[in-house]
Chains A and B, each alone.
Chain A
Amino acid sequence: MGGKGLRFPKPRRIILYVLLIVFVFLFLLPLWTDFTTSFKSIHDIIYTVPVELPLSPTIEPLITAFNLMERPLLNSLTFTVVAMIFSCLLGSINGYILTKIKFRGSNTVFLLFAIGVFIPYQAVLVPLVLTISQLGLYNTLGGLILTHTAYGITITTLLFRNFYGLLPDSLIMAAKVDGAGTWTIYRRIILPLSLLPFVVAAVFQFTSIWNDFLFGVTLARGSEAMPASVALANLKGTTAFNYNVQMAGALWYALPVLIIYLVLGKYLIRGYMAGAIKG
């Protein structure tokens, strides 16, 4: 796979693989124990070491955790998908206008969007809570959709701009000469070429909105719209539930992202590479 150097002589290659496998253990240890513990009864938790497989596997913890997290998981799924769609569509249009149409100040507009990617959300949190409350959107899915869309646009614009920058200008010029307007060019030429950036942006947005905790805990603590992240934090915070239920809850909450990681991992990586950063 195009490896560059370190053509280790034989004995050293063994050390190389040993090192790589040791790292595999270190990186997977917390995830492995999550998995094993989710299938353990209280009895097995006491009588086995966490890394061991359960003596008699049970799905009881998974059922208990699911019953506790069903509504929040559904909430998360709803606002994540809707905000993902909005932020991708708007990001695509912005990326197109900022690279292919360009106007006075388009670089400045882009810089202002890009700064938005990096700002610490703490810097907007107090007025954000006020705004969402005044709009009557506190504790609603609508409030989370609006918030995640607004902040999501910054990163999706960056992603689409990077991609559209690679499309040749001649493509647009030809259409312009034929009399196509800005919107027609977008719909007929740009959009059909946008499958890849849409997948990258959608996968990236889905995981980052799904993983969010800060907006959830400040805007939707009530059960009506509580995200799964907040529900899991609550589950972890209460001593009423044993570790097996907490681990099972973590597994449920991780599931959609794990599936995306397994199936669409290479697109997620492209999103990470675009100078992206987790909120």
Chain B
Amino acid sequence: MESGGDRKGISSFELSPEGLYQNSLWAGQKMRFPFRRVFTRETMVNLLFILPSVVLVGYFVYVLIGWNVVVSVSNWKGLTPSYNFVGFGQYVTLFHDPEFIKSLTNNIILILLFVPTSLGLGLLLAILLDSKVRGEGVFRSIYLLPFSLSFVITATLWAWMYNPDVGVINTLLKAIGLGFLQSGWTTDPSIALYCVILAIIWQFSGYTMLIFLAGIKSIPESQIMAAEVDGATGFNLYRRVVIPQLRTSTLSAFVVLMIFALKVFDFIYVLTGGGPAADATYVVPLKMFIETFLRTNFAYGAAIATILFLIVLAIVVPYLYFFIWGEKD
């Protein structure tokens, strides 16, 4: 577009977009007004900077999501891709598939237990740590440690915890004389799901604690003092002054926990593989993985993935909208 590529020419152009056109091929040409405004050289240069990222994210996130939807309405089964359009049959089949219903039910139970408990435990830990505790930093680091570890590690650890024969929990119970509480844990279909939930609460509570702790610390000291002058103390102070101001922290933690609960996969895959009793700990993402990569029902797996995506989107978009365009707060 421009003939002189030297520094000076470029920067003088940046100061006045019109400047360039006088020295360039475009000089004297009458261009359509808005086109010239929008596609100034500066804009093009800026776009060039983020182009690699836009291409990568555009392709790997958006094109692939679209492609996945296309797969979900095809008849692709088995190892060779096939894109014959068969409509939304996969989606209808899903809701008559007992294994999918079981996965969905388990996922809902998991959300209902995991999300509020992690929020509550995190808040409790944050309140305890905010009480002028000696060694606050050490406690905080210990509670947050599980969150930093890979789910494959924590699943391996909890498999050892729950092992019915030689595992940590059963041998410990026996050693302290509570042998009657011993159980099959993850090998018992009636409680395996709750064992999974307990372990992920263990892994995530430190994270919610961190979010709440930051929220508590951002409340101005003067407000606390004022409330104390009014006679609010201890837990009353928290209930009346602190907790009502943690709305943003609660929302952030809630969204993060919800999304994790919806895409929980690694941990369950490694800990129980979906078992015992065939499907006791099936959740939606696990069902998706098994259908797709173990049973090669690609279209069916893609349909499950699409449903999962839509649910997550319904939570994330309002949240991001709130944070990106409501940032004035």
Q: Which residues of A contact B (CB under 8 A)?
A: 1-8, 16-17, 19-20, 23-24, 26-31, 33-34, 37, 45-46, 49-51, 90-91, 93-94, 97-98, 101, 103-104, 107, 109-116, 118-128, 130-131, 147, 149-151, 153-154, 157, 176, 179-183, 207, 210-214, 218, 229, 232-233, 236-237, 243, 246-247, 249-250, 253-254, 257, 261, 265, 268-269, 272-273, 275, 277-278
Contact = CB atoms under 8 A, between A and B. Distances in A.
Q: Which of A94, A122, A229 has the most CB of B within 10 A?
A: A122
B230 interface: no
6 contacts: A29-B161, A49-B175, A115-B317, A115-B320, A213-B150, A213-B152
Contact of A115 (B38, B269, B316): B316
A181 B60 contact: no
Interface string B183-214: 00000000000000000001000110011001
Contact of B159 (A27, A91, A101, A236): A236
B56 A103 contact: no
Given A34-B157, A112-B57, A213-B266, A50 B171 contact: yes
Contacts of B237: 4-6
A182 B160 contact: no
Contacts of B308: 120, 122-123
A130 B81 contact: yes
Main secondary structure of the interface of A (DSSP, over half): helix
B115 to A, nearest CB: 14
Nearest to A1: B136
Contacts of B317: 115
Given A3-B131, A122-B263, A261-B145, A33 B168 contact: yes
Interface string B137-181: 101011111111111111111111101001110011001000000
Interface in B212-233: 214, 216-217, 219, 221, 224, 228, 233
A101 B42 CA distance: 10
A147 B56 CA distance: 9
Contact of B206 (A3, A27, A213): A27
A229 B156 CA distance: 11
A123 B305 contact: yes
Interface stretch (B9-17, B91-99, B274-282): B9-17
A237 B46 CA distance: 50
B262 interface: yes
Q: Which of A30, A119, A254 has the most CB of B within 10 A?
A: A30
A19 B124 CA distance: 10
Contacts of A30: 146, 154, 157-158, 160-161, 168, 202
A253 B153 contact: yes
A269 B309 contact: no
B306 A179 contact: no
Contacts of B148: 207, 257, 261, 268
Q: Which of B10, B168, B241, B320 has the most CB of A within 10 A?
A: B168
B113 interface: no
B263 A275 contact: no
A219 B9 CA distance: 48
Interface of B: 7-8, 10-12, 14-15, 38, 42-43, 45-47, 49-50, 52-54, 56-65, 67-68, 71, 81, 125, 127-133, 136-137, 139, 141-161, 163, 166-168, 171-172, 175, 202, 206-207, 210-211, 214, 216-217, 219, 221, 224, 228, 233-235, 237-238, 241-242, 252, 256, 259-260, 262-263, 265-266, 269-270, 285, 288-289, 292-293, 298, 301-302, 304-306, 308-309, 312-313, 316-317, 320-321, 323-325
Contacts of B60: 124, 128, 147, 150-151
Nearest to A110: B324
B270 A213 contact: yes
B47 to A, nearest CB: 7
A37 B142 CA distance: 20
Contacts of A211: 149-153
B257 to A, nearest CB: 10
A19 B128 contact: yes
Nearest to B144: A269
B305 A120 contact: yes
Contact of A232 (B156, B158, B233): B156
A6 B323 contact: no
Contacts of A118: 259, 312, 316, 320
Given A31-B157, A115-B320, A153-B53, 12 more contacts: A2-B217, A5-B242, A16-B131, A17-B133, A26-B202, A37-B160, A50-B168, A115-B317, A123-B308, A124-B68, A182-B42, A233-B156
Contact of B207 (A4, A31, A272): A272
A235 B52 CA distance: 38
A154 B172 contact: no
A6 B130 contact: yes
B324 A6 contact: no
Interchain residue pairs A-B with the least CB separation, the first 6 = A211-B150, A3-B132, A123-B309, A6-B131, A179-B11, A127-B67
Nearest to A30: B157
A145 B59 CA distance: 15
B116 to A, nearest CB: 18
Contacts of B14: 176, 179, 181
Given A1-B132, A119-B65, A250-B153, A6 B235 contact: yes
Contacts of B57: 112-113, 116, 150, 153-154
A131 B275 CA distance: 31
Contact of B210 (A27, A111, A272): A272
